[in-house]
Amino acid sequence: MSKGKKTLILISAVLLLSLMLSSCNLFGPGDQTTGGDSTDGTLPYSETSSSPDSSNTTAPDTDETTSPETGVSTETEPADTTGEVTTEPVPVQTYLNPLTGLEVEKDLRRVIPISIVLDNLSLAVPQSGISRADIVIEVLAEGGITRLIMITNDYGGSEVYGPVRSTRHYMVSLSQAFGTLMVGAGGSPLGYTMIQSLGLPYLDGVNDPYSGLGFYRDPLRLESAGASHSLMTNGERILKLAAKHDWTTTTSSDIRTVFNFGGGQRYTGVATHVCIPYSSSQYVQMIYSPTTNTYYRYQLGDRAHIDAENGEQLNFTNVFILFAETESIPDDTEGRLDVVTTGEGSGYYISDGSYMPIRWSRIGDTSSFIFTDESGAVISVNKGKTFISVAPKWIEGQVELNYKAD
């Protein structure tokens, strides 16, 4: 073969080899869906290879799936990986307190209320625990002084009450208008007679053989005021003494509701500064606050009536003044009184900075009060705490409902 022919053959072979090598790049790097002879579905580039565009590619934020029927791609949000659990707030169960008509978290509907006779002499104030009362009743004792009866159905803990004093027969009657378990420190002869005749339990800090379970002397009060003004109790002790006597503190049915709670009161006039002159030594004022819509209590002149335990001044949504026949008991050497708390009488209902004349009535010493307006219709009472002044009928003309200082 001639040298020319050999050269031509060599050139042809080189050209053919070049064409074969260039055929490996007929499918460019951007056309990866159909290129190559791979039968396992892999791309022509290995996972470790980089395509010319891979440096600008980021992973998508959503998962992509394809419908087998339509082949349409749909995007789904990625699963929440924060670990946070969202829960709906659990509603708080509430109940109506039958003494106030207010919603409370504790079910008190079948708890027998307690009534505690409290000392109200200047030596004894401020009392302990009185701000916890749902209802406070004030009534004259002998010598122009008053006693307070605090009523609550939320007790049983370490809360302190006192100083505790002796009861009277009309105080027993007033307590039973609310169906209470009575707490006191002794009593008058007529008081004990009524307790026994009605078959009532009485947690007695003086004559109960187990009184040490229920009562104690406050050392500071004992030192400053004497033994008569230092007897105290608390919720736990009340329950212990009641249990010692097998006296129940709960009932199988809801306790009585004395007040007709609601709205639509038909007031007669303004009552923003109420003055009740029980005697020359006990002058009570109830002053209305529009801010709280309650009446703040002052006594013994112009002293704010506070609770020794928390410094809170007593204040009430409702104020009742009930005028009652009040007379000295004949031949009683202690000058004790007879206050008639059954039958019927006149009075005032005071709330919202206003008042209305009312009539009160009771059938007997264990029955509830009924409060009506002058037409005889049962009145509606605002929800909240209540102060009841059982005032002697002889001061009816001296009570002021909207006192204006000179």
Tens digit of each residue's pLDDT (9 = 90 or more) over 1-42 = 544 444 444 444 433 334 343 433 333 333 333 333 333 333
Domains, the chain, in order of start with CATH, read 96-244 (3.50.90.10), 269-395 (3.50.90.10)
Using pLDDT thresholds of 50, 70 and 90, give the confidence band for residue 143: very high
Strands (E), 43-106: 63-66, 73-76, 95-96, 103-104
For residue 315, pLDDT over 60 is answered with yes
Which pLDDT score, from 0 to 100, does residue 82 have? 61
Task: For residues 367-392, give the mean pLDDT.
Answer: 97
What average pLDDT does the segment 97-123 reach?
Answer: 96
User: What is the phi-psi region of residue 139: left when phi exceeds 0, alpha when psi lies from -120 to 50, beta otherwise?
Assistant: beta
Strand partners, 350: 319, 355
Q: What is the pLDDT of residue 55?
A: 40
372 pLDDT higher than 80: yes
Q: Which pLDDT score, from 0 to 100, does residue 54 have?
A: 38
Cis-peptide, bond into residue 29, ω within 30° of zero: no
Residues 6+ apart with CB under 8 A from 87: none
Give the whole-angstrom CA distance, residue 120 versus residue 289. Answer: 24
Could you give the percent of the chain with pLDDT greater than 70?
79
Amino acid 91: pLDDT:
85
Q: Which of 78-92, 115-129, 358-372, 381-395 has the lowest mean pLDDT?
A: 78-92
- Mean pLDDT, all residues of the chain: 85
The per-residue pLDDT for range 349-363, each reduced to its tens digit, is 999 999 999 999 999
Q: Indicate whether 73 pLDDT > 90.
A: no
Which region among 61-65, 225-229, 272-276 has the lowest average model confidence (pLDDT)?
61-65
Over range 313-330, report the average pLDDT: 98
What does the pLDDT read at residue 125?
Answer: 97
pLDDT over threshold 60, residue 104: yes
82-96, 172-186, 251-265, 311-325: least confidently modelled range: 82-96
Q: What number of other Cβ atoms are within 10 A of residue 181's Cβ?
A: 22
CA distance 286 to 136: 13
User: Of 232, 231, 233, which Cα lies nearest the Cα of 242?
Assistant: 233
Look at 256 and 216; give whichever has higher pLDDT.
216
pLDDT at residue 146 above 50? yes
C-alpha–C-alpha distance, residues 384 and 378, integer Å: 18
